[in-house]
A and B are shown apart, each in its own frame.
Chain A
Amino acid sequence: MTEVDLRALEIQDLTVHFGGLAALSGVQMTVQAGSRHGILGANGAGKTTLFNVVSGFIAPTRGRVWLFGDEVTHLPPHRRARLGLARTFQITTLFLDLTALENVLMASLVSAGHHRRVVHPARHDRIARPMAERCLNDLGLGHLMDVPVGEVGYGEQRLLEIAVTSALAPRLLLLDEPTAGLSAAETVAVLDLVRRLPPELTVIIIEHDLEVLFQVAEHLTVLHFGEPIADGPAWSVREDPVVKEVYLGSRG
């Protein structure tokens, strides 16, 4: 196995300009397969922009992106998902009119390869439905199965987003501020869930709260106004004087 295969994500010289604003400048990053990688930064630091470029929702002004050795820089989002990429969004993008089961089913149908079938009922798919039920039960959300997601509480919606992505059986998971807006108890639930994700799954988490990130991330990249100011093992980044100054000087 060559070294390239072990890199879940590689980013080179990534730059994104919106009009006159540089959201990201020259970002360089490598994420090893199976690692738990955190991205830290204040609001506006460019974290979500980074995710949007990696997942294909924004085209970079300059730079290149590789997923598991394949260059994906200009690939549309749905093709990247097929390569094993999954992500959650800061603003919940669940299907509010559909039940929790149906939400997860939408993903498990893709995993099962049945998502284009035109005759057999989706809700009774022999592979996708048990898969979806399992996903929900494993994450302790089984009681929400037939509840329309619009009626589910915010905290459980955030957990549900993670359930939906896990049904894709991804190789790389991007979590965009999974604990934002959650109570302390809900935050614990989410972090617990993240800790229980399969070890071979590569996870990248965005947070702006240092302490939350330290509980799950082994490796950290810190962004400040679109530029990386630190990148390394969590304990070393924590002690980095530049990070300390930027972070403790300007709590976001």
Chain B
Amino acid sequence: MIRRSLPVVALGVVLAALSGLLPQYWLGLLTQALLFGGFAMGLDLLVGYTRMQSLGHATFFGLAGYGAALAVTRAALNPWAAAGLGISLSLLVALLFAPLAVRFRGLSFLTVTLAFGQVAWGLATRWTSFTGGENGIPGIRRPAFLWDLNDPAGYYLLTVLVVTAGTLALVRFAASPAGMSLQGVGSSDTRMAALGYDVQARRTVAFVVAALSGAVYGTLSAFFNRFIGPGSLDWRLSAQILLSVIVGGSGSLWGPFIAGAGLHVLKAGLVGETQRWPMVLGALYVLSVVFLPGGLASVPTRFHRFVAGRRRTSSGEQGARP
């Protein structure tokens, strides 16, 4: 476990140190990037481990944000309490919807999660009196903490803290029997049932854990932007996170994290440069799936094979496959 935790903590420390070095703009960019990276990692448990592609998990990201936003702006709740409320609301919805959703497989599951997401999005956009409609809810004030969270560096540091803790928890869970059972369900659910595992219950767990990561990071995102709008539950965000998982390499956890964070940074960079940024991103998706079907996570293996192949040729050996 030390072997897995150490790199995460080390990275957390490095990222935290950057808070004093980077300019405001970059800190802001990184904050959002880390949140998307964390979300993608959580979704990987559902998509990569349990092999269920959901096009609706941004719903939980956005729902938590809306919950917190409404609590802070309309009910004048303390921001910490509001955050807790937002996460709980999102989690509750996930717990209600998950048992239903996991009865579906493959394309049906994709469709049902998409449909569910559209219902939420529709409510957010049309129920203007409550949710602010297309304009969303502005004015979400940040809570007080050990350091000033209104300072971009301060909020960045909080984000690093939460994402590091969240990642440690996720990695631990993934390595546990419960986490491994999700891999089993994704790989051969018949075998899992024959071994005594309640497959539907396992799927529900995967769905809810992914939703929880969305809820936590979605709340942080809402406070970061000091704003929540329908864009946070749009299917396009669900798609962006799902595609991050696949581009990163489903099932690797770290691949989706890097891809989730990286895609956000890339998108932010492109948006300023060109109107054609969706085309660039789309082309990137296409190229990555064609030339790197295993995702970013397959790069180390490919590199090893390449090196091993080179070494073998140079020493004159033949035959053995890498």
Contacts and interface: CB of A to CB of B under 8 A. Distances in A.
Interface of A: 55-57, 76-78, 81-82, 86-87, 89, 93-98, 102, 105-107, 109-110, 114-125, 128, 164, 168
A40 to B, nearest CB: 23
Contacts of A117: 176-178
B190 A93 contact: yes
Contact of A78 (B180, B183, B196): B196
Contacts of A77: 193-194
A94 B179 CA distance: 17
B187 A109 contact: no
Contacts of B177: 109, 114-118, 120, 122, 125, 128
B145 interface: no
A95 B187 contact: yes
A82 B188 contact: no
B176 A106 contact: no
B209 to A, nearest CB: 10
A168 B180 contact: no
7 contacts: A81-B195, A93-B188, A105-B180, A115-B177, A116-B178, A122-B176, A122-B179
A98 B195 contact: no
* Binding site secondary structure of chain B: helix
B193 A78 contact: yes
A98 B1 contact: no
B199 interface: yes
Contacts of B148: none
Contacts of B184: 95, 98, 106
A81 B173 contact: no
Among A82, A94, A95, A110, chain B packs the most CB atoms within 10 A around the CB of A95
Contacts of B194: 55, 77-78, 81, 86-87, 89, 93
A19 to B, nearest CB: 22
B305 interface: no
Contacts of B199: 78
A98 B196 contact: no
Given A121-B176, A122-B179, A122-B180, A115 B197 contact: yes
B190 A89 contact: yes
A86 B192 CA distance: 11
Contacts of B176: 117-122
Given A93-B191, A95-B191, A121-B175, A102 B196 contact: no
A121 B190 contact: no
B190 A57 contact: yes
Nearest to B251: A97
A168 B183 contact: no
A60 B201 CA distance: 24
Nearest to A167: B195
A160 to B, nearest CB: 12
Nearest to A110: B196
Nearest to A88: B194
B187 A97 contact: yes
B172 interface: yes
Nearest to A149: B187
B198 interface: yes
B300 to A, nearest CB: 16
B201 to A, nearest CB: 9
Contact of B195 (A57, A97, A119, A168): A168
A82 B196 contact: yes
Interface string B185-214: 001101111111111000000000000000
A227 to B, nearest CB: 27
B183 A98 contact: yes
A168 B187 contact: no
Contacts of B195: 78, 81, 86, 106-107, 110, 164, 168
A77 B198 CA distance: 9
A89 B189 CA distance: 13
Nearest to B209: A118
Given A77-B194, A95-B183, A117-B176, 4 more contacts: A86-B194, A97-B183, A109-B177, A120-B177
Contacts of B159: none
Contact of B178 (A76, A89, A118, A123): A118
B191 A102 contact: no
B181 interface: yes
Contacts of A168: 195-196
Contact of A96 (B173, B187, B190, B196): B187
A94 B184 CA distance: 9
A183 B195 CA distance: 28
Among A76, A115, A124, chain B packs the most CB atoms within 10 A around the CB of A115
A48 to B, nearest CB: 13
Contacts of A55: 194
A94 B196 contact: no
B188 A78 contact: no
A72 to B, nearest CB: 13
Contacts of B172: 118-119, 121
Contacts of B197: 78, 110, 115
A114 B173 CA distance: 14
